[in-house]
Amino acid sequence: MLQAQHQDHHARGYPTCRRHPCHARRGGDAVRIGHGYDVHRLVEGRRLILGGVEIPYEKGLLGHSDADVLTHAVMDSLLGAAALGDIGKHFPDTDPAYKGADSLLLATHVAKRLAERGYRIVNIDATVLAERPKLAPHIEKMRENLAAALGLSKDDISVKATTEEGLGFTGTGLGIAAHALCLIEEKKPAFQKI
């Protein structure tokens, strides 16, 4: 029965029906999911940059680059999905070349590395954890910036912000954290019948 369905789908022009159990992926999965997490301490004398947006605030995030936790979490999710390590491997904080680096430029390099490996970014869903400042007025610009850096539509990027109700290091205002999930797929999946 399943084989007959597969042949029927193939005859109707659906040769890459991924959900069909008669298909297997050669050399790995057709789609991959990645998770990224980053956290930086809030300190005086630094700019606060999230998703490439400079946000007016009395403190900024401490880090070797611009310390953009949102973009860092997104990059780590993408690198992880492709099993390429993390941003520390690709952009080490011991390398002076990345001192004060614009994280959106680094994200563009990550997208290129994925493309070179044959992956296409499908979508990204990210959450920033910050008690202050309020981030809602800046979310759309963050989405636009990330989409431009990664070569995606803004509709493929979700950014949310939440507090932790005064709990933990983010809740007490010591730092800001971000989580990101991504879905990537191979550009030219090769399927074979089982």
Q: Could you give the dihedral angle defined by the CA atoms of residues 161, 163, 164 and 168, in that order, rounded to the nearest 10 degrees? A: 100
- What was the pLDDT predicted at 97? 83
Contact present, 71 and 106 (Cβ < 8 Å): yes
% of the chain residues with pLDDT over 90: 72
> What tens digit of pLDDT does each residue of 101-152 get?
899 999 999 999 999 999 999 999 999 999 999 999 999 999 999 999 999 9
Closest among 69, 70, 30 to 157, alpha carbons compared: 70
> What tens digit of pLDDT does each residue of 49-67 get?
999 999 999 999 999 999 9
The token duo for 182 is 């991504």
Structure confidence at residue 26 as a pLDDT band (50, 70, 90): very low
Contact present, 106 and 91 (Cβ < 8 Å): yes
pTM exceeding 0.75: yes
Topology of domain 28-193, per CATH? 60s Ribosomal Protein L30; Chain: A; (3.30.1330)
Model confidence at 161: pLDDT above 80? yes
Mean pLDDT of 158-172: 94
Chain mean pLDDT for the chain: 87
